Homo-oligomer: A and B are copies of this chain.
Amino acid sequence: MSEYSVSPDGIKYKIPTREELKAELASISRIVEDQRARGREIVTVMGLGFVGAVMAAVVADAKDSPYFVLGYQRPSKRSYWKIPYINSGKPPVSAEDPEIPEIFRRTVLEKKTLLATGCEESLGLADIIVVDIQLDAAKPVFGKAETGYVELDAFKAGCRTIGKYMREDALVLVETTVPPGTCERIVLPILKEEREKRGITKQPHLAHSYERVMPGRKYVSSIRDFWRTWAGIDRESAELARRFLSRVITYPLYEAENTTASEVAKVLENSYRAVNIAFIYDWTLRAEEIGIDLWKVLPGIRVRPTHCNIMNPGLGVGGYCLTKDSVLANWAFKEIFGCSDGVPYTIEAININDKMPLHTADLVADALKECGRDINGSTIAVLGASYLADIGDTRHSPSEILIRRLREMGAEIRVHDPYVKVWPEFAQQDEDEFSLAKQFRNQEDLKNLRVEQDLDKVVKGVDAIVFAVRHSVYLQLEPKDVLRMNGGTPAVVDAFNIVDDNKIMEYLKSGCAVRGVGKGHIKRLKQLI
């Protein structure tokens, strides 16, 4: 019986058998020979996820087209669809960046420098193999990131496949964010072992370079037009990587001492942001208690060049990097290097950030109480599901934790987000062993949570409205329109400075209870009515 892989827009693709895939090798080889004859080197990008798919297109789009790119993806039920998708010129990622559809169309259909395949034997055709295999950190206990660990099996299996097929002189460039030490202590031994089985005793060329991708309107540019740190396991590998990166990346390159230093740099820089957010949380709670608006304090500090990066308060921290990279490091230091400790001050920041949305849930309960209502049995509209303003990315979104907590407190939930159609973290909650659902008392009922695009419908009749994400559309909302949609005087909670003081006054004058993260001054505004 055939297996199928279904694309997000519902197209079913039959997954080819191992034999069918193997048979592709002959035709791919012919294409590759032709490309080599045109003077191009062959780059295989392994793993067509959030980074890999776009990296493949960026390499295929490089100035003067020095590379022909094979995008390799394991033909799994979950991901096989990406291969026929890309080969028809369509991006396998959705994004707010207009360059995304453009670059796939251009490289696949016009330049014909990008071809996707599920044939693992094709790895043997590459001069350069860029590793973009997904690698996750597991956080088995909510709010205890110190228990987090890394599951390396799939990543190791990918490396083994590379070792099995790679050309003797090919460069393996790891771009995945990995636990420090991975290249030297995990990738290198696997490659060596597999190559030795094939009689190759020469040390493989291996390097590490990490991307700094940002979802949103500059998605492609954030991979291509930004600084890069890189390192090789030896001088030759470093030079090969430098040569490749300097042809693809338009920004200056910075050479790290070795691959471990490059791996540390990535997780350290994301940890820096996480710590700075946790730091502001300390002051957010106090600002609320002592009656000042922290959002107005910070601009006066940010003028100092030494303080320009001070962070804002908010609902919490989401996304793929800031929530997990410190865990990769903490785990690696202890488990890969046998260090006496991990990075405890950094891990405490992750815990603070992970639990931060619980505070907004408390503000909702508090505001409802002021209205004489109990959160248990109230209906709450959460405006915003994604983890960043004006993008549709829900990975580790703090809105998920907010919603689970509100549900746990007995509230009925409605969600609105103009950028989000499905919310996989809820829909697929059974598949994840450490799903937050399980940690929040098995929230089976949230599995069918729908993200609505119709704001009127979501806001109508609810007891409380939470502004959870700084989407432009929410910044533009006028209180009179919100109140008209609602039809009553709901509690209003602002998690991200979305409702300015004039609007807060309007809500207060209309009799709404209002709360805001970091906004202790609302008490004073209320006295002015």
In the complex, which residues 273-307 of chain A have their Cβ closer than 8 Å to any Cβ of chain B? Answer: 273, 275-276, 278-279, 281-283, 285-287, 289-294, 296-297, 299-301, 303-304, 306-307
A272 within 8 A of B: yes
A141 within 8 A of B: no
In the complex, which residues 227-276 of chain A have their Cβ closer than 8 Å to any Cβ of chain B? Answer: 227, 229, 252, 254, 256-258, 260-261, 264-265, 268-269, 271-273, 275-276
Q: Indicate if the CB atoms of A261 and B333 lie closer than 8 Å.
A: no
Q: Indicate if the CB atoms of B286 and A343 lie closer than 8 Å.
A: yes
Q: Copies of this chain, how many?
A: 2
Contacts of A254 in B (CB 8 A): 299-300, 303
Q: Indicate if the CB atoms of A268 and B297 lie closer than 8 Å.
A: yes
Query: How many residues of chain A have a CB within 8 Å of chain B?
Result: 62
Closest to A295 in B: B257
Contacts of A308 in B (CB 8 A): 308-309
The 8 Å CB contact of A257, one of B258, B296, B352, is: B296
Segment among A73-81, A334-342, A375-383, A406-414 that sits at the interface with chain B: A334-342
Q: Indicate if the CB atoms of B333 and A289 lie closer than 8 Å.
A: yes
Least distance between A336 CB and chain B CB atoms (Å): 8
Q: Indicate if the CB atoms of B272 and A307 lie closer than 8 Å.
A: yes
Least distance between A35 CB and chain B CB atoms (Å): 33
Known contacts A282-B344, A300-B256, A345-B349; A337/B290 CB under 8 A: yes
Q: Indicate if the CB atoms of B272 and A301 lie closer than 8 Å.
A: yes
Least distance between A349 CB and chain B CB atoms (Å): 7
Known contacts A264-B292, A286-B339, A343-B286; A227/B304 CB under 8 A: yes
Contacts of A261 in B (CB 8 A): 292-293, 296-297
Cα–Cα distance between A342 and B290 once the two chains are bound (Å): 11
Known contacts A272-B310, A279-B275; A297/B345 CB under 8 A: no
A66 within 8 A of B: no
Least distance between A150 CB and chain B CB atoms (Å): 16
Least distance between A192 CB and chain B CB atoms (Å): 21
A181 within 8 A of B: yes
Cα–Cα distance between A303 and B265 once the two chains are bound (Å): 12
Contacts of A452 in B (CB 8 A): none
The 8 Å CB contact of A290, one of B181, B282, B287, B307, is: B181
Q: Indicate if the CB atoms of B348 and A256 lie closer than 8 Å.
A: no
Contacts of A297 in B (CB 8 A): 256-257, 261, 264-265, 268
Q: Indicate if the CB atoms of A292 and B258 lie closer than 8 Å.
A: yes
Contacts of A333 in B (CB 8 A): 286, 289-290
Q: Interface code A307-336, partner B: CB below 8 Å = 1, 0 otherwise?
A: 111100000000000000000010001000
A92 within 8 A of B: no
Contacts of A306 in B (CB 8 A): 273, 309
Closest to A346 in B: B282
The 8 Å CB contact of A287, one of B264, B276, B279, is: B264
A392 within 8 A of B: no
Cα–Cα distance between A268 and B282 once the two chains are bound (Å): 10
Cα–Cα distance between A346 and B281 once the two chains are bound (Å): 10
Q: Indicate if the CB atoms of A290 and B345 lie closer than 8 Å.
A: no
Q: Indicate if the CB atoms of A304 and B212 lie closer than 8 Å.
A: yes
A40 within 8 A of B: no
Contacts of A521 in B (CB 8 A): 257
Closest to A228 in B: B300
A180 within 8 A of B: yes
Cα–Cα distance between A309 and B352 once the two chains are bound (Å): 22
Q: Indicate if the CB atoms of B304 and A269 lie closer than 8 Å.
A: yes
Cα–Cα distance between A296 and B269 once the two chains are bound (Å): 14
Least distance between A149 CB and chain B CB atoms (Å): 17
Cα–Cα distance between A261 and B521 once the two chains are bound (Å): 10
Contacts of A180 in B (CB 8 A): 290
Contacts of A227 in B (CB 8 A): 300, 303-304
Cα–Cα distance between A296 and B261 once the two chains are bound (Å): 8
Q: Indicate if the CB atoms of A345 and B340 lie closer than 8 Å.
A: no
Among A212, A258, A261, A342, max chain B CB count under 10 A is at A261
Q: What are 17 pairs between A and B in contact, CB < 8 Å?
A: A212-B304, A229-B301, A256-B296, A256-B297, A257-B296, A260-B292, A261-B292, A261-B296, A264-B283, A265-B300, A271-B283, A275-B279, A282-B346, A286-B333, A308-B308, A308-B309, A348-B348
8 shortest interchain CB distances as A-B pairs: A254-B300, A282-B343, A229-B300, A261-B292, A289-B339, A275-B279, A269-B301, A227-B303
Q: A254-B303, A285-B341 are in contact. List 4 more A-B contacts (CB 8 A).
A: A227-B300, A227-B304, A252-B303, A279-B346
Residues of A within 8 A of B (CB): 180-181, 212, 227, 229, 252, 254, 256-258, 260-261, 264-265, 268-269, 271-273, 275-276, 278-279, 281-283, 285-287, 289-294, 296-297, 299-301, 303-304, 306-310, 329, 333, 337, 339-346, 348-349, 352, 521
